[in-house]
Amino acid sequence: MRKTVLWEDQRGALIKGFGPHELLIRCLADRSGAHDFGRRQHVESIPLKGVSNLIKRLKQDAQKLRDDGPVFAVIDRDKIRDQLSPKPPDCMKGLSRGIRTAAPGDYEIVFLVQNVESLLDAVIEVLDLPRRAGKPTPDERDRMFQKAKSASRAKRDAILDKCPSFKRLVSKVLES
């Protein structure tokens, strides 16, 4: 069985060391007690550039992906409403319905509140990393996530506590 995590992310292509995936796998290993959780459970992350590409992928491949195991759509909460037509109510249920109307299928939606930068902010705060002016590049961001992956379990737990939406993703993938 494979667990597939589709990410709305600026990367737009899977690369070795995709930071959010690496941190997810390490947090799953922490919670499960299995150091090789990612390999044993075969968790695959697929970054897709923008929510429109994520919805397109769900429309085209959700059932095929679901045939292999659970599918999770990780969506930045901050801009999704503007991408849906008609605009749904500005609440989680309304946004979820809007996404499922655009891309019907059997998958779990996990909103990152507000976006992946919220998770990065938690990493920076907990690990006491220097903040840069402006938005970090994807490579800089991935290096920060790698530091979180390599940090102590207590630090990763603190990151999860500061970013409950990512903690929810960890729980959902672990429970599936």
CA pair distance 123, 101, nearest whole angstrom: 34
Query: Do 102 and 59 form a contact (C-beta atoms < 8 A)?
Result: yes
Contacts of 44 (CB under 8 A, 6+ apart): 2, 3, 4, 5
How confident is the prediction for the chain on average, in pLDDT? 87
Place 38 in a pLDDT band, splitting at 50, 70 and 90: low
**Residue 6 in this model has a pLDDT that exceeds 70:** yes
C-alpha distances in Å from residue 44, one per residue of 1, 39, 77, 127, 135: 11, 9, 22, 26, 26
Query: 5-9, 34-38, 109-113, 115-119: lowest mean pLDDT where?
Result: 34-38
- E strands within 49-97? 71-76
**Residue 28 in this model has a pLDDT that exceeds 70:** yes
Query: Do 34 and 101 form a contact (C-beta atoms < 8 A)?
Result: no
Strands 3-8 and 108-112, how do they pair?
unpaired
144-172 tens-digit pLDDT: 999 999 999 999 999 999 999 999 999 99
CA pair distance 93, 3, nearest whole angstrom: 24
> How confident is the model at residue 36, as a pLDDT?
65
